[in-house]
């Protein structure tokens, strides 16, 4: 306690604050920092090569995707070649998103202008179903997936007033407070679900990419002078990324409990 008789009145708040003793943390955080200092070197190097390998795989698959896309366009002209419900598999450029939702399918070109034409493959392949079990999706994603499974369904969905009503439910933007709360909850959940001891190589690369995405958003949020709209958009992006990361980690745990891994789902294009 300060000796009030020696220094009765501080000349300003600055002086008063300056004599407050420095606080010490309840426990030193150096052990945790040191652990990360050792691990990240190996991990980062490891993840770097894996990310590079994943990128090369994606690049190698692009010509195939373009060929299939061209074939799809031709098939659109020649309806005997492809039916209305034909979906063409294309790898997405963004590796984290591609992997977190499994193989991505694109609807026939007539629906390409619609944002809903990029849909998550659900029923057609067992792998996709494995990657995204229904029980692990939230209601909104489930609705979105249900309305965008195939081109034909997309077409019917766009004209279906009930579906339109569902889409309009997504329209109101959440408040910043609800985004803060969701972010906190998801971050806690992510910390609970993440287990780097059972991570496979590609999964570690993907988790690293999601972390990097999150770090980018955090860095943008830390910029001064952000408008309210920008803040909301960034916090929404943060919540979305955390949700994807949580989904991904949960899937990993489920697959690992079943003795399987994510790797097949990551590279499969069907």
Q: Which residues bind another protein (CB under 8 A)?
A: 1-4, 7-30, 32-34, 36-38, 41, 177, 180-181, 183-184, 187, 218, 221-222, 224-226, 231
Q: What angle do the packed helices 161-169 and 139-147 form, to 10 degrees?
A: 140
* Cβ at position 211, least distance to another protein in Å: 11
* Cβ at position 238, least distance to another protein in Å: 9
Among residues 33 and 93, whose Cβ is nearest to another protein?
A: 33
Among residues 205 and 239, whose Cβ is nearest to another protein?
A: 239
* Cβ at position 221, least distance to another protein in Å: 7
Using the Cα atoms of residue 104, residue 105, residue 109 and residue 113 in order, give the sign of their dihedral. negative
Do residues 211 and 96 lie in contact, with contact meaning Cβ atoms separated by under 8 Å? no
* Cβ at position 23, least distance to another protein in Å: 5
Among residues 74 and 184, whose Cβ is nearest to another protein?
A: 184
Among residues 32 and 67, whose Cβ is nearest to another protein?
A: 32
Q: Supply angle C-alpha 112, 82, 152, rounded to 5.
A: 50
E strand spans, the chain: 88-89, 104-106, 118-120
Q: Give the torsion through C-alpha atoms of 144, 68, 98, 204, to 10 deg.
A: 160
């Amino acid at each position: 306690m300060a000796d009030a008789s020696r220094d009765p009145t501080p000349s300003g708040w600055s002086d008063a604050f300056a004599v407050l003793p420095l606080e010490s943390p309840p426990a030193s955080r150096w052990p945790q920092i040191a652990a990360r200092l050792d691990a990240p070197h190996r991990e980062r190097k490891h993840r770097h090569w894996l990310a590079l390998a994943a990128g090369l795989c994606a690049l190698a698959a692009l010509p195939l995707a373009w060929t299939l896309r061209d074939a799809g366009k031709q098939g659109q002209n020649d309806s005997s070649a492809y039916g209305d419900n034909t979906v063409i598999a294309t790898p997405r450029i963004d590796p984290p998103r591609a992997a977190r939702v499994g193989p991505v399918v694109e609807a026939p070109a007539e629906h390409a202008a619609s944002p809903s034409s990029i849909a998550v493959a659900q029923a057609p392949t067992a792998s996709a179903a494995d990657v995204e079990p229904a029980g692990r999706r939230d209601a909104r994603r489930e609705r979105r997936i249900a309305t965008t499974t195939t081109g034909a369904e997309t077409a019917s969905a766009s004209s279906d007033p009930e579906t339109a009503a569902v889409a309009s439910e997504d329209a109101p933007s959440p408040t910043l407070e609800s985004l803060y709360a969701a972010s906190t909850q998801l971050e806690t959940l992510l910390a609970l679900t993440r287990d780097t001891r059972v991570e496979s190589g590609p999964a570690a690369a993907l988790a690293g990419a999601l972390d990097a995405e999150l770090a980018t958003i955090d860095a943008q949020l830390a910029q001064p002078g952000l408008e309210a709209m920008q803040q909301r958009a960034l916090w929404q992006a943060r919540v979305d990324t955390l949700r994807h990361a949580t989904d991904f980690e949960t899937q990993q745990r489920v697959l690992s409990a079943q003795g399987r891994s994510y790797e097949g789902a990551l590279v499969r294009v069907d």
